[in-house]
A and B are shown apart, each in its own frame.
Chain A
Amino acid sequence: MSNDPIHQFHISKLIPIEIGGYDFSFTNSSAFMVATVVATSAFLFLTTSSRGLVPSRLQSISEMCYEFVASMLRDAAGSQGMKFFPFVFSLFMFVLVANILGLFPYFFTVTSHIIVTFALAILVIGTVLVYGFMKHGFGFLKLFVPQGVPGILVPLVVLIEVISFISRPVSLSVRLFANMLAGHITLKVFAGFVASLSALGAVGIAGSVLPLAMTVAITALEFLVAFLQAYVFAVLTCMYLNDALHPGH
């Protein structure tokens, strides 16, 4: 089934491991997560090892990544938020590199599985909760009580705010996952049209130029989406961390 658009998301066990009845196998997803981490760290280490005062091209890419995330965090959470910089930078680079690696033909896209993006989102919200309660104690709960609400409406508004807070990790993870999944399926379907149309003979080959052009265009769009989703993920992380830092009104 080379033409099956879902086949690319299939998880296969590379090294089966089972501990205490649970499946800890090293899968192709794990392999690409390791590849993402290795590629990111190797790139950042190697490009910044020379530490030129006048940066080389690759070094300035690393520096741009750093400054991009740092200014994003500083804008959203103030300079106090900079203690979360390693966290946000790792998240951003992991999502970005995983998205971009997934665009190579025959590569597996780690972020197209909701359990991966949901784990990342839970990590973010868990950090917000733990840090918020650690720093402000129960004052952190003021986050759920907006000011200037009439007394009768407070329970209702608090319930809605709580649901809104719980929906954050869901929307954060679903957005990244849905974008990557939909993009890859679209790409595969259009590329499949090229193959099946060109099997129809001369007319089909002439007609298959259209889906081919579409495939090229969607690939370009996917590169934009890969970056944009990593950016949105990081921006929202910064905004949620801001809630943990300043929950008061």
Chain B
Amino acid sequence: MANESGPDETGKTGPGKSGERAFRDDDLERRRRQLAETLAARRQSEGEGERGAKSGETTGYGQAVKLSSEFIAGVAVGAGLGWAIDRLAGTSPWGLIVFLLLGFGAGVLNVMRSAGVVAQVDPKASDKNAGDRDN
């Protein structure tokens, strides 16, 4: 783009081949910086807008399916583990009872974690993922 507009400006800057070259380089540099700034600003505002729109749009159906599947998975895995332990150790029904309750706990933990109420396991990642988690 700078090359296209170059010839127009050389007419104004006057004689001197080297001066003209320096001017064009300066100009190019200045423009490039300006473009980078504008792009950065635009990208940031775009990202924010997108994020806001996305979290508003997917709060319904997607969120419901996600949270319920997290909870059910916790309970189901707890019950499955308890049942397997009972079968192997012959402690029926205590393994099932205890692990079903633990599974409930795990399910609630899953739900709260994916809803962003409880911090992620990794505290460093929790701030970074704050935006992603609401999808």
Q: Contacts of B109 on A, CB cut-off 8 Å?
A: 160-161, 164
Bound-state CA distance A2–B94 (Å) is 48
User: B125 and A160: CB pair below 8 A?
Assistant: no
- Interface size bucket, B side? 20 to 34
Q: Mark A223-241, 1 if CB is under 8 A from B, else 0.
A: 0000010011001000100
Q: Is there an interface contact between B121 and A243, defined as CB atoms closer than 8 Å?
A: yes
CB of B69 within 8 A of chain A?
yes
B10, CB-defined interface residue at 8 Å: no
Stretch at the interface among A87-95, A172-180, A198-206: A172-180
Q: Does more than half of chain B's interface fall in helix, strand or loop, or is it mixed?
A: helix
- Distance to closest chain B CB from A87 (angstroms): 18
Give Cα A235–Cα B114 distance, bound, in whole angstroms: 12
Chain B 114-125 near chain A by CB (<8 Å), digits 1 or 0? 000000111111
Q: Is the CB of B66 within 8 A of A249?
A: no
- Considering the complex, which residues of chain A in the window 157-174 have a beta carbon less than 8 Å from any beta carbon of chain B? 159-161, 163-164, 166-168, 170-171, 174
Contact residues in A for B95 (Cβ distance below 8 Å): none
Q: Give Cα distance in the complex from A247 to B121, angstroms.
A: 8
Main secondary structure of the interface of A (DSSP, over half): helix
Contact B132 A163 (CB under 8 A): no
Contact of A231 among B69, B124, B131, B135 (CB under 8 A): B135
Measured CA separation A192–B70 after assembly (Å):
32
Contact yes or no, A178 B65, CB < 8 A: yes
- Stretch of B1-9, B14-22, B27-35, B74-82 contacting A (4+ beta carbons < 8 Å): B74-82
Contact present for B106 and A163 (CB under 8 Å): yes
Q: Is A67 an interface residue (CB 8 A)?
A: no
Kindly list 14 other residue pairs between chains A and B, CB separation below 8 angstroms, not including A156-B102, A239-B132: A72-B132, A76-B132, A159-B102, A164-B113, A167-B74, A171-B69, A171-B70, A174-B69, A174-B72, A239-B129, A242-B125, A243-B121, A243-B122, A246-B124
The 8 A-B pairs with the shortest beta carbon distances in the complex, nearest first, are A171-B73, A163-B106, A167-B73, A170-B73, A167-B77, A164-B106, A175-B69, A160-B105
Listed in ascending order, the chain A residues whose CB lies under 8 Å from chain B are: 72, 75-76, 143, 146, 156, 159-161, 163-164, 166-168, 170-171, 174-175, 178-179, 228, 231-232, 235, 239, 242-243, 246-249
